[in-house]
Amino acid sequence: MNFIRIMNDMKMKKKLALTFFSAAVLPLVLSGLFLTGKLREIVINNASSQVSDNVERVRKRTEELIKVPLDISYRLTIDNRMKMVATKKYESYTEVIQAYREYTDIRDYIQLYKEISSIRVYVVNPEALNNWEFIQPDNTITSEAWYKEAIHQKGLAGWNLIKDERNDTEHLSLIRSFPVDSTGQKGVLVINVDKQQLSSILDQESFTTLIVDNRNRVVGSNEAEFFGKNLSDIDGEEKILSRQEGSYNTVVGGKASKVVIANLNPENSWNGLRIISVFSVSEITRDANQVIRLGVVVITVSLIFAILLIYASASLLSRRLFRLSKHMSKVGMGSWETYLHIDGKDEVGLLSKQFNALVRSVHDLVQEVQETNHQKSLVEQRQNEIKFKMLASQINPHFLFNSLESIRMEAHIRRQDDIAEAVWLLSTLLRSSLEAGNGNIPLREELERVRCYLGMQKFRYEDRLKYSLVVDPDLQEMPVPPLIIQPLVENSIVHGLDNREEGAVIKVEVKRIPKGVRVKVCDNGAGFSAERLASIRAELAVSVHEQESKRIGIRNVNDRLVILYGASSALSIESELGKCTYITFFIPGGAASND
Q: What is the pLDDT of residues 102-151, one digit of tens each?
A: 898 999 999 999 999 999 999 988 888 888 889 888 888 889 889 999 99
> Could you tell me how far CA 179 lies from the centroid of its own chain?
61
Element (H, E) at 281: helix 281-332
Question: Options 3.30.420.40, 3.30.565.10, 3.90.550.10, 3.90.228.20; which CATH number does 373-390+436-588 get?
Answer: 3.30.565.10
Q: Tell me, what DSSP letter sits at residue 269?
A: B
> Which residues in the chain are classed under CATH 3.30.565.10?
373-390+436-588
Q: Could you tell me if 495 and 521 are in contact, meaning their C-beta atoms sit under 8 angstroms apart? A: no
Q: What is the pLDDT of residue 391?
A: 44
Of 240-249, 425-434, 553-562, the range with the lowest mean pLDDT is: 425-434
DSSP string, 16-36: HHHHHIIIIIHHHHHHHHHHH
pLDDT at 121: 93
Question: 166: helix, coil or strand?
Answer: coil
pLDDT digits over 171-204, tens only? 999 999 998 877 778 899 999 999 899 889 888 8
Q: What whole-number percentage of the chain has pLDDT above 70? A: 76
Closest CA to 424 of 441, 411, 443, 437: 411
How is 182-246 classified by DSSP, letter by letter?
TT--EEEEEEEEPHHHHHHHHTT-SSEEEEE-TT-BEEEESSGGGTT-BGGGSSB-GGGGT--SE
Proportion of the chain above pLDDT 90, given as a percent: 14
Does position 85 have pLDDT exceeding 60, yes or no? yes
∠ CA 568-569-573, rounded to 5°: 100
More confident residue, 545 or 19: 19
Nearest to 392 by CA among 428, 424, 433: 433
Burial 332-355 (b: 16+ CB within 10 A, else e): eeeeeeeebebeeeeebeeebeeb
Q: Give per-residue pLDDT as tens, 460-488.
A: 777 788 889 999 999 999 999 888 898 89
DSSP three-state, residue 581:
strand
Q: According to the model, what pLDDT value does residue 257 have? A: 77
pLDDT at 116: 92
SS3 content of the chain, % helix, strand, coil (to 5): 55, 20, 25
Mean pLDDT to the nearest integer, 437-450: 83
Query: Structure pTM?
Result: 0.47
- Of the ranges 320-329, 373-382, 397-406, 565-574, the best mean pLDDT one: 565-574
| Number of neighbouring beta carbons within 10 Å of residue 579 | 11
Q: Are 198 and 211 in contact (CB under 8 A)?
A: yes
- Helix 397-413 crosses helix 417-435 at what angle (to 10 degrees)? 160
Average pLDDT, the chain: 79
Comparing 197 with 6, the larger pLDDT belongs to 197
pLDDT in tens, 480-534: 988 889 889 888 887 766 666 677 889 999 999 988 999 999 988 888 888 988 8
Beta-strand relationship, 134-135 and 157-164: unpaired
CA distances to 453, 488, 575 from 498, rounded to whole Å, are 16, 15, 17
Q: Which residues pair with 261 in a beta bridge?
A: 246, 276
Nearest to 100 by CA among 141, 57, 132, 148: 132
Q: How confident is the model at residue 592 (pLDDT cuts 50, 70, 90)?
A: very low
Rg of the chain (C-alpha set): 52
- Strand 169-179 and strand 186-193: the pairing is antiparallel
- For residue 138, what is the DSSP state? -
pLDDT band at 344 (very low <50, low <70, confident <90, very high): low
Q: Are 156 and 268 in contact (CB under 8 A)?
A: yes
Higher pLDDT, 415 or 63: 63
pLDDT at 386: 63
